[in-house]
C-alpha cells in the first residue's frame, strides 16, 4: 500500500477495518478506496468481509439508521424510497464516452470528462457525518470461469444489505486476484436524507464509465439505481463479454422436469420487465437457478450458463397465493426479506397490489400515512402500494432452489425463451427454425408495452431486443452478431422459443390463463428432448393440438378445446407484416451496424408470409399446417 494512503485510511477506517483493506494486496483497489474516502469525506468507514459478523452488522445498521423498519414476521423489514425515486432513472443513466466513441442513437451518453467533473462535484463531502460501507462481492459463482470480482462503496446500509442478499460475498475471492486490475467498481451516495429518503433527486445521476469499468450513482436510493452489481454491472459485463467472446444476458435460468421428473432440462429466458419473467422462473414444481441476469459461455462445445446473482429483487405486484404460490409462500413465512414501497398496515404486515387479500383501509407507505383517496405532492391518487414495489430475498431460501445455483461449472442450456407484452400479433409459444432464425426474427424483434418499472408513460409498445436494450454498452449490431457467433462450433445449439402471455381475442379478453405458461414451458421441454412433433408455419414451429390437450390435462388438470387452440395459434399475417415494417424502420433509422443477415432473414420471412396469405387469407388456422409435422 502506498505510504500516502496509510494515515488517511487508518484515520477513517480504524485499526480493524484498515487491516481488512491492507490484507488485500491490490494497488488499484487501494487507489480506488483512498480516492473516494478522501473525496466523499465520511465520518468513518466499515469494510465488509465474508464473515457472518460483518453481514449482521450491515443488517443491524439498516434498521438502526431507519433505512429499514421491522415488520411483524421475523426477519422481514420494509424500506421506502422517495415519492419521486421509485424506478430506474433512464434519462439520467448515461455512459461516459470519449468524443470518438459511438454506441448508437438510442444509447444515452455524456462526454466523459464533463460527466466525471460533474459527478465528482456531487460526491465531494457527500458522506460527511455518515458511515461509508465498502463491500466486496463476486458476480457469478466464486472460483469459476464465470466469476467477476466487484467492489461497492455506498453510504446506504439498505443498499449494502440488499447486496448481501443478492450477491455472493467476494472478499476472499478478491484476495485471490492479487494485484490484478480486472474488477468492477461502484460508488453510490444517497445524498442528503430528508425524512429518511434522498432529498435532492433532481441531482440524481447514474454514470457508467466503461473505460474504467466503474459506475457512479448519486442522490437516489431505489435499488435499480443504486445496487451497482445489478443492471449497472450488467452494462459493464456486456462490454467485457463482447471483448472476450461470451454473453451477458437479461435472462432467468431454470430447470424444467419431464412428466415423471426423471429428467431436468435447463432453460434461460429473456423478458422485458413485468412480462412474466419471474413468474416463469418460479413455476410451481420446477427449479430456479436465477430470475434476472445470466452469463453464457461456450465451454467444451456446449452453451453453459450461471446466475450472476444469488437473490431476487422482484416486482411484487400481482403476486398472490393463486398466481405465484412459490413466491407468495416465501414472502409470508419467517425469513430474511426486504419489502420496498409496499404498505405497512396497522398490524405491521406488508401489503401489495393484487396480493389476493382484502384491500387495506390505512397504513404507512412511500407517501407517508396513507388512507384511500390520498393525493400525492403531484396531486395524483396514491395507491396503497407502488406499482413497482419490490421484494428482495435469497434464492437459497426458496424451496424450489436448484442444487446447481453455486455450481462453478454452470449448467448446460437446452432452450432459450424470449417474450414480451403483445396483444395482437404473436402466438402463446413458437419455436424458431434454427439458432440464426431465432436470434434474428424472435430475439432481435421483441416489442413490449412499457410498465411501471421505468419512469415515464405506461402502455406504449416499445422495441426491446433481447429485453436488453436499456442495458447495452456496445452497438446493437455487434451485440446481435455476438449472439449469433456464440454457437459457432456447437453441434446442438439450444433451441430458441418465443412466448406471449398477453395475446387478446376479438372481445379484448386475454386468451391465456395465468397458469397456462406452465403448459407452454412443458411443451418446450419436450421439444428440446425430441418427444413431440410440431407444425411448420412461415414464422416457426408451433405445437400440435393433441400434445397441448394432453399437457393441459397433465399439468393443470384442465380441458383444452380445439376452439381455444385455433384462436390462440391462428397466424395473424397482417399484424406480423406490420410488426416487420415497424422493426425494419427502427433498424434502418437508428442502428448503424445492422448485420446483413438480419435484413435477409426478415425479408425471407416476409416472402413466406405473403405466399401463405395468397393461398389461405389474412388469418390462418393452425389446422391448415397439420400436414407439415417436424
Q: Which residues are catalytic?
A: 275
Provide φ and ψ at 152, rounded to 5°. -115, 130
The DSSP bridge pattern shows strands 264-270 and 197-198 to be unpaired
**What single string gives the DSSP state of each residue in 506-521?**
TTS-BSS-TTTHHHHH
How distant, in Å, are the alpha carbons of 58, 292, 313, 393 from that of 165?
Answer: 11, 14, 9, 6
Identify the residue whose cell numbers are 433505512: 67
Per this entry, what is the length of the chain? Answer: 630
> Strand, coil or helix: what is 411?
strand
Cell 480506488 belongs to residue: 32
Using alpha carbons, select from 26, 15, 336, 378 the residue that is nearest to residue 173. Answer: 26
Cell numbers 399475417 label which residue? 573
**Cα 141 from chain centroid (whole Å):** 17
Report the C-alpha gap between 268 and 307 in whole angstroms.
Answer: 10
What's the rounded Cα separation, in Å, for the pair 585 and 507? 30
Structural contact between residues 488 and 499, judged by C-beta atoms closer than 8 angstroms? no
559 half-sphere exposure, CB direction, 13 A CA radius = 3
**What is the 8-class DSSP label of residue 424?**
S
- Cell for 5? 494512503
The DSSP element (H or E) to which 254 belongs, if any, is strand 252-257
Give the per-residue SS3 of 347-381: CCCEECCCCCCCCCCCEEECCEEECCCCECCCCCE
For every residue of 565-585, DSSP letters joined together read HHHHH-EEHHHHHHHHHHHHH
Q: Which long-range contacts (CB under 8 A, 24 or more apart) does 25-30 make?
A: 25/175, 25/178, 25/179, 26/174, 26/177, 26/178, 26/179, 26/180, 27/1, 27/2, 27/179, 28/179, 28/181, 28/183, 29/151, 29/174, 29/183, 30/1, 30/2, 30/5
User: What is d(CA 428, CA 94) in angstroms, rounded to the nearest whole number?
Assistant: 35
CB 464 within 8 A of CB 446: yes
DSSP-derived letter for residue 627 is T
Amino acid at each position: 500500500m502506498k505510504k500516502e494512503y496509510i494515515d488517511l485510511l487508518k484515520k477513517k477506517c480504524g485499526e480493524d477495518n484498515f487491516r481488512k483493506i491492507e490484507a488485500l494486496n491490490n494497488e488499484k483497489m487501494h487507489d480506488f478506496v483512498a480516492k473516494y474516502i478522501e473525496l466523499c469525506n465520511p465520518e468513518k468507514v466499515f469494510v465488509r468481509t465474508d464473515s457472518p459478523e460483518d453481514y449482521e452488522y450491515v443488517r443491524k445498521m439498516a434498521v438502526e439508521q431507519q433505512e429499514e423498519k421491522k415488520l411483524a414476521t421475523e426477519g422481514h423489514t420494509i424500506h421506502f424510497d422517495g415519492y419521486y425515486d421509485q424506478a430506474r432513472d433512464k434519462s439520467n443513466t448515461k455512459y461516459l464516452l470519449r468524443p470518438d466513441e459511438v454506441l448508437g442513437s438510442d444509447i444515452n451518453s455524456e462526454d466523459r470528462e464533463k460527466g466525471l467533473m460533474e459527478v465528482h462535484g456531487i460526491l465531494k463531502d457527500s458522506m460527511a457525518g455518515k458511515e461509508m460501507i465498502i463491500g466486496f462481492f463476486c458476480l457469478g459463482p466464486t472460483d469459476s470461469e464465470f466469476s467477476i470480482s466487484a467492489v461497492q462503496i455506498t453510504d446506504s446500509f439498505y443498499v449494502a444489505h440488499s447486496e448481501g442478499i443478492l450477491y455472493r460475498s467476494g472478499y476472499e475471492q478478491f484476495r485471490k486476484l492479487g494485484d490484478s486490475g480486472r474488477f468492477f467498481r461502484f460508488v453510490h451516495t444517497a445524498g442528503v436524507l430528508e425524512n429518511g429518503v434522498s432529498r435532492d433527486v433532481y441531482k440524481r445521476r447514474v454514470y457508467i464509465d466503461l473505460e474504467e469499468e466503474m459506475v457512479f450513482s448519486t442522490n437516489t436510493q431505489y435499488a435499480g439505481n443504486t445496487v451497482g452489481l445489478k443492471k449497472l454491472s450488467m452494462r459493464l459485463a456486456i462490454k467485457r463479454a463482447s471483448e472476450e467472446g461470451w454473453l451477458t444476458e437479461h435472462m432467468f435460468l431454470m430447470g424444467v422436469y419431464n412428466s415423471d421428473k426423471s429428467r431436468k432440462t435447463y432453460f434461460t429466458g429473456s423478458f422485458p420487465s413485468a412480462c412474466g419473467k419471474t413468474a416463469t422462473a418460479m413455476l410451481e414444481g420446477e427449479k430456479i437457478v436465477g430470475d434476472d441476469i445470466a452469463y453464457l459461455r461456450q465451454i467444451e462445445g456446449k452453451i453453459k450458463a450461471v446466475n450472476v446473482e444469488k437473490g431476487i429483487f422482484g416486482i411484487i405486484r400481482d403476486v398472490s397465493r393463486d398466481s405465484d404460490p412459490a413466491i407468495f409462500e416465501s414472502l409470508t413465512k419467517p425469513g430474511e426479506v426486504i419489502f420496498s414501497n409496499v404498505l405497512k398496515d396497522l398490524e405491521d404486515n406488508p401489503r401489495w397490489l393484487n396480493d389476493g387479500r382484502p384491500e387495506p383501509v390505512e397504513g404507512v407507505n412511500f407517501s407517508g400515512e396513507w388512507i384511500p383517496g390520498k393525493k400525492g405532492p403531484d396531486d395524483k391518487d396514491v395507491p396503497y402500494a407502488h406499482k413497482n414495489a419490490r421484494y428482495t430475498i435469497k434464492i437459497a431460501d426458496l424451496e424450489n432452489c436448484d442444487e446447481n445455483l453455486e455450481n462453478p461449472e454452470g449448467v448446460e442450456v437446452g432452450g432459450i425463451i424470449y417474450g414480451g407484452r403483445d396483444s395482437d400479433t404473436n402466438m402463446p409459444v413458437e419455436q424458431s427454425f434454427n439458432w440464426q432464425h431465432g436470434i434474428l426474427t424472435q430475439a432481435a424483434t421483441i416489442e413490449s408495452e412499457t410498465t411501471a418499472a421505468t419512469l415515464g408513460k405506461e402502455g406504449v409498445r416499445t422495441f426491446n431486443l433481447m429485453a436488453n436494450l436499456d442495458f447495452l454498452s456496445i452497438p446493437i449490431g455487434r451485440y446481435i452478431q455476438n449472439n449469433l457467433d456464440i454457437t459457432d462450433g456447437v453441434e446442438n445449439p439450444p433451441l430458441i422459443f418465443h412466448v406471449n402471455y398477453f395475446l387478446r381475442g376479438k372481445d379484448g379478453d386475454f386468451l391465456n390463463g395465468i397458469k397456462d405458461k406452465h403448459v407452454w414451458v412443458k411443451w418446450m421441454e419436450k421439444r428440446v428432448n425430441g418427444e413431440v412433433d410440431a407444425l411448420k408455419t412461415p414464422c416457426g414451429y408451433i405445437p400440435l393440438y393433441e400434445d397441448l390437450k394432453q399437457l393441459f390435462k397433465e399439468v393443470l388438470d384442465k380441458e383444452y378445446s380445439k376452439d381455444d387452440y385455433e384462436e390462440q395459434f391462428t397466424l395473424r399475417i397482417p399484424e406480423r407484416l406490420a410488426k416487420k415494417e415497424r422493426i425494419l424502420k427502427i433498424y434502418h433509422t437508428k442502428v448503424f451496424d445492422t448485420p446483413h443477415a438480419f435484413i435477409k432473414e426478415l425479408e425471407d420471412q416476409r416472402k413466406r408470409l405473403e405466399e401463405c396469405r395468397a393461398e389461405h387469407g389474412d388469418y390462418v388456422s393452425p389446422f391448415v399446417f397439420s400436414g407439415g409435422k417436424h
